[in-house]
Amino acid sequence: MTFQTSRRSLLAQSAAILGFAFLPQARAAASWSSEAFERARPIERAVIAHPFLKALADGTISRDKILWYLAQNAGYLRNYAASLSRACAKLENPEDRALLAQWIKDTAGTETWTLDLLQKFSGGRDTTPFMRLRPTTLFYASWEAKASEEGTASEAWAALLPCFTMYEVAGRFIAGHIRKENPYREWLSAYGDPAYSKTVESAVALADRLARKETPEGRARMTENYLTSCRLEWALWDAAERLEDWPV
């Protein structure tokens, strides 16, 4: 795997796979993921209806919003890699630890790639003002850090999973709605990697394996962690749309 398996597949994975319900399909009726994904459907619908994604797909998005998003995403990724490391240390299975170790490397590569895009699209502007973490970015990163530090392995992974699943939601939406005259088409089209869905399946399968060892109470905590992070994924898109900054 290369770092395309992580957040690089940010906006498009499989243009050929289109539909309304974009989250990975329910595995087995009794699986944790089938229950959690069903609970997350309203958040999914809110994500694909968000004006930021629509403007990104049709190419009408402002340059400042692109720069805001890329800068904040780079900062988020730096923190996400640290949370992945904490979650990895909680895993008992060597194969699962190896999987997360690869995703940690992928995330670091994605951060570098995102910063390169930031400079490419800056047009020579000083991007330093965009780099300071905004309230939503900082809260999301802090929430994942707390979940990965204080939660069980399953609770930690449930909180980190939306980085995979909700970006598949956004990616498939963009892939199905991108316009030919979009000035960012070359960038967005580069993410059209069908292999990303396999990566998401692996991430979901890990969550289900961990959930099978949990009590009903533990599964419920996993679901709440998952839903919280899904909501924060939406919040990050929304903050980009608003060009969120510190009020003082």
Q: Report whether 147 contacts 159 (CB < 8 A).
A: yes
Name the DSSP class of 26: P
User: Which residue type, as a one-letter code, is found at position 75?
Assistant: G
> What length does the chain have?
248
The answer to whether the beta carbons of residues 37 and 192 sit under 8 Å apart is no
Write out the chain's pLDDT in tens, 248 residues.
444 444 444 443 333 333 334 455 444 446 999 999 999 999 999 999 999 999 998 899 999 999 999 999 999 999 999 999 999 999 999 999 999 999 999 999 999 989 999 999 999 999 999 999 999 999 999 999 999 999 999 999 999 999 999 988 888 888 888 888 888 776 676 555 677 788 899 999 999 999 999 999 999 999 999 999 999 999 999 999 999 999 99
Q: By the 8 A CB rule, do 173 and 53 touch?
A: yes
Nearest to 64 by CA among 243, 247, 245: 243
Angle between helical axes of 162-177 and 51-58 (0-180°, round to 10): 50
Q: What's phi and psi for 239, nearest 5 deg?
A: -65, -35
Q: Which two tokens stand for residue 153?
A: 């392995």
Place of tokens 């904490």: 86
Cα(205)–Cα(213) distance, integer angstroms: 13
Q: Which CATH superfamily is domain 36-242 in?
A: Heme oxygenase-like (1.20.910.10)
Determine the 3-state secondary structure of 14 from DSSP. coil
- Radius of gyration for the chain, computed over Cα atoms and rounded to the nearest angstrom: 17
* Sign of the dihedral defined by the CA atoms of residues 99, 40, 72, 53, in that order: positive
